[in-house]
Structure 1
Amino acid sequence: MPNKLISLAEAGRRFSWDGMCYASGAALPVGSDALVFGRELLRQKRKDLHAIFHCCGQQLNLLAAAGAATKAECGFAALEVVGFANGLRRAVESGRLALEDYSNLAMALRLLGGALNWPFVPATVNIGSDLQDRSAFAPDAYPSREKIPAITDPFSGKEIGAFSPLKPDVAAIHVTLADANGNAILLGTEWSRFELSRAAKRVVVIADAIVDPGCIRQYPNLVRIPELLVEAVVYWPFAAWPHSSPGMYDMDEEHMFFMNKALASEQGTADYIRDFVESYSDLDSYLDMIGRDKIAHLSDSVSSFLLDPYRRWILPADEVARLTAPDAGSKEIAA
């Protein structure tokens, strides 16, 4: 089976481009978003992104604040206790980003429709409200007839709506554990990462830890994303920071508030990108940027027991580095 481990920078180069439709899973502080891939998009100066997020998190907040995303579709658009997403707010209010609003259930259904390759998704939610009637992508059309068009249920004759299925060009999906072939195990809330992995045209898995294939053989029923769906695997501990990764680390609440405050202004955003996007050159310097004491504190989590069944299979960082070497892609990984 092929070794799909590549560096984060290489994943950004190979699986991103200006104007692409980009999705990331999941979203909220407990949702383990692949936030480091969003940072990489900024490091590689990507622009005109059409962002698909089940729910707004700090990644969409950052991409919007930096001007990298000019279109977005998402459900809930706040950051829970942290407050409203200031970077997203600025981008929408300034007219730099068109935000198409749906409910969380609608986003889940649209991802399911993309996963199943449906031509449309029957909509029994969001209809009869401004979620149906107003479209950020066609602001002059009211009531909108394109966002959630009315259709007739052929069995009951009742008028319902139709959602367009979501089929992003690329999805960067954070997972807790993955082997080098791309088989992935998720701990904690999924936030439609299962459906997103089937809906996206290309999937890059961003893993907090790499495991020996024996782990996958031991727990095949827990593999939510199988290797046949995955183009590449990136090893990057604390990839979801400052969000949490259940079993691995808690949310960095202090940085969540700091980040959202910074993204409230152009200067604050520029300073944040300088200090927390462009300042590191590799994984070690990224972890140094977060702070080793803070990493130890966040890793001392009440959810750490969730990782206990898998610890024996987690590969050490030097072994993962060897497998991620430039010529490692030609090597076969024992099944």
Structure 2
Amino acid sequence: MPTNKLITLAEAVRRYTWDGMQYASGAALPVGSDAIVFGRELLRQQRRELHAIFHANTQQLNLLAAAGAVTRAECGFSGLEGFGFANGLRRAIEQGRLVLEDFSNLAMALRLLGGALNWPFVPATVNIGSDLQYRRAFEPDVHPNPNKIPSVTDPFSGKQIGAFSPLRPDLAAIHVTLADPEGDAIMLGTEWSRFELSRAARRVVLLADAIVDTDCMRQYPNLVRIPGIVVEAVVYWPFAAWPQASPGMHDVDEAHMKAMNVALGSDDGTAAYIRDYVESYADLDGYLDLIGRETISELSNGATAFLLDPYRRWLLPHAEALALTAEAST
């Protein structure tokens, strides 16, 4: 019998997160699809001392760092591409409130793959022989540090290579374009490591722009990169990636991306941003009103909107998706 895994955002954070946990989020580039609204809810519920795992930094990590919710982070890229360096993340590091462990993008992908395959370690042929190998932010006084990427011997060639530690975060909040109530999901646009992350994490919560009938997944089984069997819960939340982009659903909100990063550059700006864009809404409709219905309309009619065309017939109306969430909560 089909299982309805839809729950509210607030319930997902209450049920699956705690202070001090290792928390991961999946993104498609630092300005692409990420479950940013999950990070907002982490702040609303005052989660603290998080150990963040991000293949690439996004506005979510930028916000969590600026707010002081993250004390340790591992990341493959820390900028915001065309929107500049992440001011909140930089301030937290410079002020000694957050320790950032640096790996390359390929290394983060390989470490997530190692976690997904339950490997004891990941053979490393990148990041070795440089400060990426010998500088460990979690042990800053030890150099060269043998513990970040230890040397191991290839049993076949006898060569010395490195060893990455696999990543197995306590929870991954993963943004997807489409999900059915059972947790099957389709991602449009670049995927990055969301596939590997969904298998590496101990628990997975999906943040879906739209809920579709399961017939959609049956029509395109080869596109279901995250199956319901690995998913704990699904949160229906359009514009969960805002102000970043979700290909097929909406473009990046360039004005808010810039304003948000400016705000996170100071303590006062961060406090004002949290007041206005984290604590100010009561529910999904209030969140959409906060973004602005005109802004939503403009961002939803961008150059990638055609990507959604093959799936539109299966999209559940907003009211029906909310009703299914309420039904599962009773």
1:155 maps to which residue?
156
Query: What 5-or-longer segments of structure 1 have no aligned partner?
Result: 331-335
Q: TM-score, normalised by structure 2?
A: 0.98
Asked if 1:242 is matched to 2:236, the reply is no
Question: What percent identity do the matched residue pairs reach?
Answer: 74
Match status 1:198 vs 2:199: yes
- The equivalences for 1:98-177 within 5 A come to 98-177=99-178
Q: Which runs of 5+ in 2 are unaligned?
A: none
- Could you say what secondary structure the match of 1:287 adopts? helix
**C-alpha contact 1:26 1:32 (8 A) present in aligned 2:** yes
1:209 correspondence with 2:210: yes
Contact 2:73 2:99 in 1 (8 A): yes
Q: Deviations over 1:252-308 (max 9, x none)?
A: 011111011100111110000000000010011101111111111100111111000
Superposed displacement of residue 223, structure 1: 0.2
Cα displacement string for residues 110-166 of structure 1 (whole angstroms, at most 9, x for unaligned residues): 000000000000000000111111011000100111000111111111111000000
**How many residue pairs were aligned?**
329
Which residue identity is paired with 1:47? R
Whether contact under 8 Å (2:31, 2:81) holds in the other structure is no
Rounded to whole Å, the distance in 2 between the matches of 1:34 and 1:328 is 21
Kindly indicate whether residue 328 of structure 2 is the aligned counterpart of residue 328 of structure 1: yes
Alignment match, 1:51: 52
Query: Superposition RMSD on alpha carbons, in Å?
Result: 0.9
Deviation at 1:317, TM superposition (A): 1.1
1:30-83 Cα offsets, whole Å, 9 max, x none, are: 530000000000000000000000001100000100000000000011001111
Distance 2:242 2:319 in 1: 22
Question: Which piece of structure 1 moves more, 315-324 or 33-42?
Answer: 315-324
Change (3 A) 1:298 1:323: same
**Structure 1 Cα separation of the partners of residues 215 and 196 of structure 2:** 25
Higher mean alpha-carbon deviation, 55-64 vs 26-35, is at 26-35
Distance 1:329 1:213 in 2: 20
Other-structure match for 1:72: 73
- Deviation above 4 Å: which 4+ runs of structure 1? none
What aligned pairs does 1:178-189 form with structure 2 within 5 A after superposition? 178-189=179-190
Q: Which residue of 2 aligns with 1:333?
A: none
The residue type paired with residue 92 of structure 1 is I
Q: Contact conserved, 1:4 with 1:329, CA < 8 A, in 2?
A: no
User: Which residue of structure 1 aligns with residue 91 of structure 2?
Assistant: 90
Partner Cα separation in structure 2 for residue 51 and residue 311 of structure 1: 35
Quote the offset at 1:29 in angstroms. 4.8
Shift in Å, 1:328: 2.3
Q: Does the CA-based 8 Å contact 2:178-2:208 persist in structure 1?
A: yes
Structure 2 residue identity aligned to 1:314: L
Q: Read off the aligned partner of 1:54 and give its amino acid letter.
A: H
In 2, the alpha carbon distance for the partners of 1:225 and 1:120 equals 24
Q: 2:63 — aligned with what? A: 62
TM value normalised by structure 1: 0.97
Q: Is the 8 A contact 2:30 2:79 kept in 1?
A: no
Q: In the TM superposition, what is the alpha-carbon distance from 1:27 to its structure 2 partner?
A: 5.0
Per-residue CA distance 1:215-242 (angstroms, 9 max, x = gap): 0111111100000000000000000000
* 8 A Cα contact 1:28 1:243, kept in partner: no
Distance 2:28 2:307 in 1: 20
Would the aligned equivalents of 2:31 and 2:58 in 1 still touch at CA under 8 Å?
no
CA contact (8 A) 1:31 1:190 kept: no
Kindly indicate whether the alpha-carbon contact (under 8 Å) linking 1:2 and 1:329 is maintained by their aligned counterparts in 2: no
Task: Find the aligned partners of 2:159 and 2:85 in 1 and give their Cα distance.
Answer: 37
**Aligned residue in 2 for 1:307:** 308
